[in-house]
Structure 1
């Protein structure tokens, strides 16, 4: 007897996929990876604003965690400008970047290396 007629052989032997099925499978795989922006607690928002203001006023280096649908990223730099409480300019090693406040997940002040060597 043929292998096609045994067990699940009829379906196993026909490996045809419609283009619509392939498109839907790829779309659903991307949706699994896509992340949703978390809702921040009021205390975290206050801390973010304080660290950005401190970096701007005292020219201290700050690490900013930025939300992205396909993955979060971290940038390290100094805040050089704040635009109407909607976005701020982060001066990086190679240029600068405007970052929306709504996309910031967390911030922290980076201690300078000189602080570790003082006696």
Structure 2
């Protein structure tokens, strides 16, 4: 009998990986680096609400740090609408984005002028 058929020889010789196995390995690696939403202190939530209201009232530029499972991102624009204290509309250079208050990690008023287009 050949040595390739003894013990683990058959598998050692082929060294083949199925696409399903490769996809499962990649998915597992992604889940390892998945971030969890931190719990914000009440003071931070108050500051977020105040900055959103100020941006809405005075059409000031607002920098928003938004939580994401694969990484946080920053957006800068002016708040043009607030929907029942659940989300707000941030007017960006190329359009707008609705942002949930539950996804906001921090906000900061920016000193630059942003041109706001109203409907």
Fold-level similarity (TM above 0.5): yes
Alignment map for 1:79-94 (pairs within 5 Å): 79-94=79-94
Other-structure match for 2:34: 34
Other-structure match for 1:71: 71
Other-structure match for 1:117: none
Structure 1 position 21, deviation (Å) = 3.3
User: Aligned-residue CA RMSD in angstroms?
Assistant: 2.1
Tell me the SS of whatever aligns to 2:105. strand
Matched, 1:102 2:102: yes
**Deviations for 1:69-103, whole angstroms, at most 9, x for unmatched residues?**
11111110000110000100111111111111111
Q: Do the aligned partners of residues 15 and 40 (structure 1) sit closer, same or farther apart at CA in structure 2, a change above 3 Å counting?
A: same
Q: Do the aligned partners of residues 14 and 40 (structure 1) sit closer, same or farther apart at CA in structure 2, a change above 3 Å counting?
A: same
Give 5+ residue unaligned stretches, structure 2: 114-119
- Which deviates the most, 72-81 or 14-23? 14-23
With normalisation by structure 2, the TM-score equals 0.78
Distance of 1:104 and 1:21 partners within structure 2? 36
Tell me the SS of whatever aligns to 1:50. helix
Structure 1 position 35, deviation (Å) = 1.1
Other-structure match for 1:52: 52
